[in-house]
């Protein structure tokens, strides 16, 4: 049976791309790979891509010269988790505080690892997790 290797892209749907972009670029220090009217794509550690779509703007199939992308969209607060080094977790908490982003929760996982939870301007629940919780991470 074929197997999946990893997740390459994760998508969030936002109401205001400029506002979301300011948050992800300023607070999380992500760098844009692509910007369009309805999408911004960010490199995440050279191992994945975070896609921010303007909510409601990608519902229709997009026909492009090389193929098509079926319609999609999302609503409500979504959850994603970013991997961080254990030695940098405290610095991340300071950085969030400097940008006025409150930490809403903390978790010390039984298998190891620690998580911090906070929200982006669209209410999505973001998590920073240190290694140890999941096998292979």
Q: Beta strands of the chain (E only): which ranges?
A: 9-14, 31-35, 39-44, 48-54, 62-64, 67-69, 79-83, 105-108, 114-119, 125-129
Q: Which fold would CATH assign to domain 76-137?
A: 2,3-Dihydroxybiphenyl 1,2-Dioxygenase; domain 1 (3.10.180)
Under CATH, which number does the domain 1-75 receive? 3.10.180.10
Mean pLDDT for all residues in the chain: 95
Q: Give start-end residues of each CATH 3.10.180.10 domain in the chain.
A: 1-75, 76-137
Task: Say yes or no to pLDDT of 93 above 90.
Answer: yes
- Encode pLDDT of 28-85 as tens digits: 999 999 999 999 999 999 999 999 999 999 999 988 899 999 999 999 999 999 999 9
pTM value is: 0.92
């Amino acid at each position: 049976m074929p197997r999946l290797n990893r997740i390459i892209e994760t998508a969030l749907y936002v109401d205001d791309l400029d506002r979301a972009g300011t948050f992800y670029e300023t607070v999380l220090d992500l760098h844009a790979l692509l910007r369009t009217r309805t999408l911004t794509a960010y490199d995440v550690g050279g191992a994945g891509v975070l896609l921010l779509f303007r909510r409601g703007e990608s519902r229709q199939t997009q026909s492009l010269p090389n193929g098509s992308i079926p319609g999609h969209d999302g609503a409500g607060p979504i959850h994603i988790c970013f991997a961080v080094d254990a030695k940098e977790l405290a610095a991340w908490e300071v950085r969030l505080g400097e940008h006025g982003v409150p930490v809403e929760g903390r978790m010390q996982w039984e298998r190891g690892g620690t998580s911090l939870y906070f929200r982006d301007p669209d209410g999505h629940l973001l998590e920073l997790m240190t290694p140890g919780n999941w096998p292979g991470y």
